[in-house]
Amino acid sequence: MSTRHPFDTELALYAGGDLRGWDWVKTAAHVRGCEACRVSVAAFHLDQQRLLDSADDMPAGLNWDRLASEMAANVRVGLAAGECIGPVAGRESQKAIWNWKPAGAFAGLAMVFAAAWWLNMPTSDTAALSRAFGFVQEDRGPVVEASSAGIEFRENGSVLGVSTSAAQPVVTSVSFGGSASARYVDDDTGQVTIATVYVQ
């Protein structure tokens, strides 16, 4: 058995089957004869297994619509930014025409716009506007929707919704008759208000 304990990084690579050649032989020989390192390797194995298991679970309360619209928006921003600042093969001949100043000014403007948007616009508006401009794949017909955030009726990019930042609905529901309802209870008086949106 080698007298020096392998580093944690070597043990982690060994546990994952990623150690190669002489390093693998050396570490394997040490682990066979060292109880402490065997425990470390087993712990790394367990961590890997937990990681694999947890990768199959989706986070609780994941909002797929919002995630989809945010991903679409991020991809667009990424592509736009890549167009602005990324080196592109075949543009070498244009270097003489383009210099960094206009690109920098454009990027600055984009940042100001993004910052103003981020500061001013609620997430629900961003989602609604994404639908209005067709960034998000929309259903063909009218849709009523109820979630813990509130209720909405959507058609052709237009939205009629009820959601308050002050309170979450205690109950939301949809009806096959073409409506969605949300119940709110006033904290102080207990008065119940039921908001409903209808397909026309």
* Residues in contact with other proteins by the rule CB under 8 A: 58, 62-65, 108-109, 111-113, 115-116, 119-121, 124-125, 128-129, 132-133, 137, 139-149, 153, 155-164, 170-171, 173-178, 180, 183, 185-188, 190-200
Q: Are 31 and 37 in contact (CB under 8 A)?
A: yes
Which tokens belong to 128? 């609604």
In terms of CB distance, is 30 or 131 closer to other proteins? 131
Least distance from other proteins to the Cβ atom of residue 39, Å: 35
Burial 45-77 (b: 16+ CB within 10 A, else e): eeeeeeeeeeeeeeeeeeeeebeebeeeeeeee
Least distance from other proteins to the Cβ atom of residue 118, Å: 11
Q: What is the separation of C-alpha 146 from the centre of its chain, rounded to a whole number of angstroms? A: 21
Least distance from other proteins to the Cβ atom of residue 156, Å: 7
In terms of CB distance, is 90 or 141 closer to other proteins? 141
Least distance from other proteins to the Cβ atom of residue 137, Å: 7
Least distance from other proteins to the Cβ atom of residue 141, Å: 5
